[in-house]
Structure 1
Amino acid sequence: MKTITWKLHLKSNTQDVFSLLSTSEGRKKFWAERADEDNGVINFLFPNGQTYKGRILEMIPNKRFHLDYFDSMVKFHLKPSHDGGTDLVLINENVQENEFSEVNAGWISVLMNLKAVADFQCDLRNHDSKRTWDQGYAEN
Protein backbone atom coordinates (compact mmCIF):
# COMPACT_ATOMS: atom_id res chain seq x y z
CA MET A 1 0.00 0.00 0.00
CA LYS A 2 1.19 3.50 -0.82
CA THR A 3 0.32 7.05 0.23
CA ILE A 4 -0.25 10.05 -2.03
CA THR A 5 0.27 13.57 -0.70
CA TRP A 6 -0.46 16.78 -2.60
CA LYS A 7 -0.47 20.41 -1.45
CA LEU A 8 -2.52 23.15 -3.04
CA HIS A 9 -2.69 26.88 -2.31
CA LEU A 10 -6.01 28.54 -3.00
CA LYS A 11 -6.80 32.25 -2.84
CA SER A 12 -10.27 31.32 -1.48
CA ASN A 13 -10.79 31.26 2.28
CA THR A 14 -11.08 28.04 4.27
CA GLN A 15 -14.85 28.36 4.73
CA ASP A 16 -15.45 28.46 0.97
CA VAL A 17 -13.04 25.59 0.28
CA PHE A 18 -14.53 23.48 3.07
CA SER A 19 -18.00 24.06 1.66
CA LEU A 20 -16.89 22.71 -1.73
CA LEU A 21 -15.54 19.56 -0.07
CA SER A 22 -18.26 18.96 2.48
CA THR A 23 -21.51 19.64 0.64
CA SER A 24 -23.28 17.80 -2.15
CA GLU A 25 -23.54 20.98 -4.23
CA GLY A 26 -19.88 21.81 -3.64
CA ARG A 27 -18.61 18.37 -4.67
CA LYS A 28 -20.81 18.47 -7.77
CA LYS A 29 -19.09 21.70 -8.85
CA PHE A 30 -15.59 20.23 -9.06
CA TRP A 31 -15.40 16.50 -8.31
CA ALA A 32 -18.26 14.27 -9.46
CA GLU A 33 -21.39 14.54 -11.56
CA ARG A 34 -23.32 13.84 -8.36
CA ALA A 35 -22.10 13.42 -4.80
CA ASP A 36 -25.21 13.42 -2.63
CA GLU A 37 -24.85 12.63 1.05
CA ASP A 38 -27.18 10.39 3.02
CA ASN A 39 -26.51 9.65 6.71
CA GLY A 40 -22.77 10.28 6.44
CA VAL A 41 -22.34 8.38 3.16
CA ILE A 42 -21.51 10.20 -0.07
CA ASN A 43 -23.01 8.60 -3.17
CA PHE A 44 -20.54 9.52 -5.90
CA LEU A 45 -21.48 9.29 -9.59
CA PHE A 46 -18.71 9.96 -12.11
CA PRO A 47 -18.94 10.88 -15.82
CA ASN A 48 -18.08 7.34 -16.94
CA GLY A 49 -21.03 5.97 -14.94
CA GLN A 50 -18.86 4.61 -12.12
CA THR A 51 -20.33 4.93 -8.64
CA TYR A 52 -18.91 4.70 -5.13
CA LYS A 53 -20.40 5.03 -1.67
CA GLY A 54 -17.82 6.75 0.52
CA ARG A 55 -18.36 7.07 4.25
CA ILE A 56 -17.38 10.37 5.88
CA LEU A 57 -14.94 9.45 8.63
CA GLU A 58 -14.16 12.85 10.13
CA MET A 59 -15.42 16.35 9.53
CA ILE A 60 -14.15 19.36 11.46
CA PRO A 61 -15.55 22.51 9.85
CA ASN A 62 -12.99 24.55 7.93
CA LYS A 63 -10.14 22.25 9.05
CA ARG A 64 -10.53 18.58 8.14
CA PHE A 65 -12.60 16.36 5.90
CA HIS A 66 -11.78 12.62 5.82
CA LEU A 67 -13.58 9.89 3.93
CA ASP A 68 -13.40 6.33 2.71
CA TYR A 69 -12.80 6.58 -1.04
CA PHE A 70 -12.42 3.54 -3.26
CA ASP A 71 -11.27 1.43 -0.32
CA SER A 72 -8.61 3.91 0.72
CA MET A 73 -8.65 6.83 3.13
CA VAL A 74 -8.65 10.39 1.80
CA LYS A 75 -7.86 13.27 4.12
CA PHE A 76 -8.26 16.93 3.24
CA HIS A 77 -6.60 19.28 5.73
CA LEU A 78 -7.22 23.01 5.44
CA LYS A 79 -5.24 25.82 7.03
CA PRO A 80 -5.73 29.56 6.59
CA SER A 81 -2.77 31.14 4.83
CA HIS A 82 -1.16 34.48 5.63
CA ASP A 83 -2.73 36.02 2.51
CA GLY A 84 -6.33 35.15 3.47
CA GLY A 85 -6.41 32.06 1.30
CA THR A 86 -6.16 28.38 2.13
CA ASP A 87 -3.33 25.89 2.18
CA LEU A 88 -4.86 22.48 1.47
CA VAL A 89 -3.11 19.16 1.98
CA LEU A 90 -4.59 16.03 0.44
CA ILE A 91 -3.41 12.68 1.81
CA ASN A 92 -4.67 9.47 0.21
CA GLU A 93 -3.61 6.47 2.31
CA ASN A 94 -3.76 2.75 1.47
CA VAL A 95 -3.61 3.12 -2.31
CA GLN A 96 -2.96 -0.19 -4.05
CA GLU A 97 0.52 -0.21 -5.53
CA ASN A 98 -0.77 -1.26 -8.98
CA GLU A 99 -3.21 1.71 -8.96
CA PHE A 100 -0.79 4.31 -7.62
CA SER A 101 0.16 6.04 -10.89
CA GLU A 102 -3.44 6.43 -12.07
CA VAL A 103 -4.76 7.54 -8.67
CA ASN A 104 -1.88 9.98 -8.21
CA ALA A 105 -2.58 11.58 -11.61
CA GLY A 106 -6.32 11.55 -10.91
CA TRP A 107 -5.87 13.64 -7.79
CA ILE A 108 -4.00 16.28 -9.81
CA SER A 109 -7.00 16.51 -12.12
CA VAL A 110 -9.43 16.81 -9.17
CA LEU A 111 -7.29 19.34 -7.29
CA MET A 112 -6.70 21.57 -10.32
CA ASN A 113 -10.44 21.65 -10.95
CA LEU A 114 -11.04 22.44 -7.26
CA LYS A 115 -8.70 25.43 -7.66
CA ALA A 116 -10.43 26.52 -10.88
CA VAL A 117 -13.86 26.37 -9.23
CA ALA A 118 -12.85 27.86 -5.87
CA ASP A 119 -10.67 30.68 -7.15
CA PHE A 120 -12.06 31.40 -10.63
CA GLN A 121 -15.63 29.97 -10.65
CA CYS A 122 -14.70 27.88 -13.70
CA ASP A 123 -15.37 24.15 -14.07
CA LEU A 124 -12.69 22.65 -16.33
CA ARG A 125 -14.47 19.30 -16.80
CA ASN A 126 -16.15 18.37 -20.08
CA HIS A 127 -19.13 16.46 -18.53
CA ASP A 128 -19.16 14.14 -21.54
CA SER A 129 -19.64 10.42 -20.81
CA LYS A 130 -17.83 9.59 -24.06
CA ARG A 131 -14.76 11.67 -23.13
CA THR A 132 -13.70 10.44 -19.69
CA TRP A 133 -10.55 9.35 -17.90
CA ASP A 134 -11.18 5.87 -19.37
CA GLN A 135 -10.63 7.26 -22.89
CA GLY A 136 -7.56 9.24 -21.84
CA TYR A 137 -9.24 12.61 -21.27
CA ALA A 138 -7.81 14.58 -18.34
CA GLU A 139 -10.69 17.03 -17.97
CA ASN A 140 -13.41 14.86 -16.49
Structure 2
Amino acid sequence: SGEMDEFWSFVGNKGNQRWTWYAIERRSGCILAWHNGKRTDKVFLILWNSLKVFDIAKYHTDDWGTYSKYIPPDRLRVGKDKTWKIERKNLNLRTHLKRLNRKTICFSKNETVHDNVIGLYIERYYYKNGTYGNNDFS
Protein backbone atom coordinates (compact mmCIF):
# COMPACT_ATOMS: atom_id res chain seq x y z
CA SER A 1 0.00 0.00 0.00
CA GLY A 2 1.04 3.61 -0.40
CA GLU A 3 0.60 7.00 1.21
CA MET A 4 -0.01 10.17 -0.80
CA ASP A 5 0.27 13.77 0.32
CA GLU A 6 1.11 17.27 -0.81
CA PHE A 7 2.93 20.08 0.96
CA TRP A 8 2.99 23.81 0.42
CA SER A 9 5.87 26.10 -0.41
CA PHE A 10 6.24 29.26 -2.48
CA VAL A 11 8.44 30.84 -5.11
CA GLY A 12 9.25 34.54 -4.90
CA ASN A 13 6.37 35.47 -2.61
CA LYS A 14 3.67 33.65 -0.70
CA GLY A 15 1.13 34.49 -3.37
CA ASN A 16 2.99 32.23 -5.82
CA GLN A 17 2.20 28.93 -4.16
CA ARG A 18 4.04 25.77 -5.18
CA TRP A 19 2.92 22.32 -4.05
CA THR A 20 4.97 19.15 -3.97
CA TRP A 21 2.74 16.12 -4.48
CA TYR A 22 4.27 12.73 -3.80
CA ALA A 23 3.62 9.12 -2.89
CA ILE A 24 5.57 6.68 -0.76
CA GLU A 25 5.49 2.94 -0.32
CA ARG A 26 4.00 2.55 3.13
CA ARG A 27 6.20 -0.20 4.54
CA SER A 28 9.62 1.03 3.39
CA GLY A 29 8.97 4.77 3.14
CA CYS A 30 10.46 4.79 -0.38
CA ILE A 31 9.34 7.77 -2.46
CA LEU A 32 7.67 6.21 -5.49
CA ALA A 33 6.86 9.36 -7.46
CA TRP A 34 6.63 13.11 -6.99
CA HIS A 35 5.60 16.19 -8.92
CA ASN A 36 5.69 19.94 -8.24
CA GLY A 37 3.00 22.35 -9.34
CA LYS A 38 -0.22 23.98 -8.23
CA ARG A 39 -2.76 22.36 -5.92
CA THR A 40 -5.02 21.31 -8.78
CA ASP A 41 -6.58 18.16 -10.15
CA LYS A 42 -4.38 18.45 -13.24
CA VAL A 43 -1.17 18.28 -11.19
CA PHE A 44 -2.54 15.43 -9.07
CA LEU A 45 -3.31 13.46 -12.24
CA ILE A 46 0.32 13.75 -13.33
CA LEU A 47 1.35 12.08 -10.08
CA TRP A 48 -1.51 9.56 -10.29
CA ASN A 49 -0.52 8.52 -13.82
CA SER A 50 3.11 8.04 -12.80
CA LEU A 51 1.99 5.61 -10.08
CA LYS A 52 0.22 3.28 -12.51
CA VAL A 53 3.41 1.25 -13.03
CA PHE A 54 3.22 0.16 -9.38
CA ASP A 55 0.68 -2.39 -8.22
CA ILE A 56 -0.68 -0.43 -5.26
CA ALA A 57 -3.77 -1.99 -3.73
CA LYS A 58 -4.58 0.76 -1.19
CA TYR A 59 -3.81 4.46 -1.03
CA HIS A 60 -3.76 6.22 2.35
CA THR A 61 -4.40 9.97 2.14
CA ASP A 62 -5.68 12.95 4.04
CA ASP A 63 -9.15 14.34 3.33
CA TRP A 64 -8.22 16.57 0.39
CA GLY A 65 -11.10 16.26 -2.11
CA THR A 66 -9.01 15.53 -5.17
CA TYR A 67 -8.00 12.14 -3.81
CA SER A 68 -11.57 10.90 -3.39
CA LYS A 69 -12.48 12.30 -6.80
CA TYR A 70 -9.96 10.11 -8.69
CA ILE A 71 -8.97 7.18 -6.47
CA PRO A 72 -11.58 4.39 -6.49
CA PRO A 73 -13.32 4.08 -3.08
CA ASP A 74 -12.24 0.45 -2.63
CA ARG A 75 -8.58 1.53 -2.94
CA LEU A 76 -8.75 4.69 -0.79
CA ARG A 77 -8.27 4.99 2.98
CA VAL A 78 -8.65 8.48 4.44
CA GLY A 79 -7.41 9.56 7.84
CA LYS A 80 -4.56 11.26 9.65
CA ASP A 81 -3.76 7.99 11.40
CA LYS A 82 -3.05 6.50 7.95
CA THR A 83 -0.58 9.15 6.79
CA TRP A 84 1.81 9.55 9.71
CA LYS A 85 4.84 8.28 7.77
CA ILE A 86 4.47 10.68 4.85
CA GLU A 87 3.68 13.57 7.22
CA ARG A 88 6.96 12.83 9.01
CA LYS A 89 8.75 12.86 5.67
CA ASN A 90 7.19 16.30 4.99
CA LEU A 91 8.74 17.52 8.23
CA ASN A 92 12.14 16.10 7.29
CA LEU A 93 12.01 17.79 3.89
CA ARG A 94 11.14 21.12 5.55
CA THR A 95 13.95 20.67 8.07
CA HIS A 96 16.62 19.79 5.49
CA LEU A 97 15.59 22.29 2.79
CA LYS A 98 15.30 25.77 4.29
CA ARG A 99 13.43 27.09 1.26
CA LEU A 100 10.50 24.85 2.29
CA ASN A 101 10.16 26.39 5.76
CA ARG A 102 7.03 28.44 6.27
CA LYS A 103 8.64 31.40 8.07
CA THR A 104 12.09 32.01 6.68
CA ILE A 105 14.13 34.52 4.73
CA CYS A 106 15.37 31.64 2.55
CA PHE A 107 13.10 31.09 -0.43
CA SER A 108 13.25 30.22 -4.11
CA LYS A 109 13.05 32.98 -6.68
CA ASN A 110 12.61 30.69 -9.68
CA GLU A 111 10.23 27.73 -10.14
CA THR A 112 12.74 25.68 -12.13
CA VAL A 113 15.40 26.06 -9.45
CA HIS A 114 12.84 25.33 -6.73
CA ASP A 115 11.66 22.12 -8.43
CA ASN A 116 15.20 21.00 -9.20
CA VAL A 117 16.39 21.50 -5.61
CA ILE A 118 13.58 19.28 -4.34
CA GLY A 119 14.27 16.72 -7.08
CA LEU A 120 18.00 16.66 -6.39
CA TYR A 121 17.38 16.25 -2.68
CA ILE A 122 15.06 13.29 -3.26
CA GLU A 123 17.52 11.75 -5.73
CA ARG A 124 20.50 12.21 -3.43
CA TYR A 125 19.03 11.23 -0.08
CA TYR A 126 16.39 8.70 -1.03
CA TYR A 127 17.73 6.98 -4.13
CA LYS A 128 21.49 7.43 -4.57
CA ASN A 129 22.28 6.40 -1.00
CA GLY A 130 19.93 3.45 -1.30
CA THR A 131 18.21 4.50 1.92
CA TYR A 132 14.67 4.68 0.57
CA GLY A 133 13.59 6.28 3.82
CA ASN A 134 14.85 3.69 6.31
CA ASN A 135 17.61 5.60 8.09
CA ASP A 136 18.46 9.09 9.32
CA PHE A 137 16.87 10.70 6.28
CA SER A 138 13.48 8.96 6.53
Normalization by structure 2: what TM-score? 0.35
Q: TM-score, normalised by structure 1?
A: 0.34
Greater fraction helix: 2
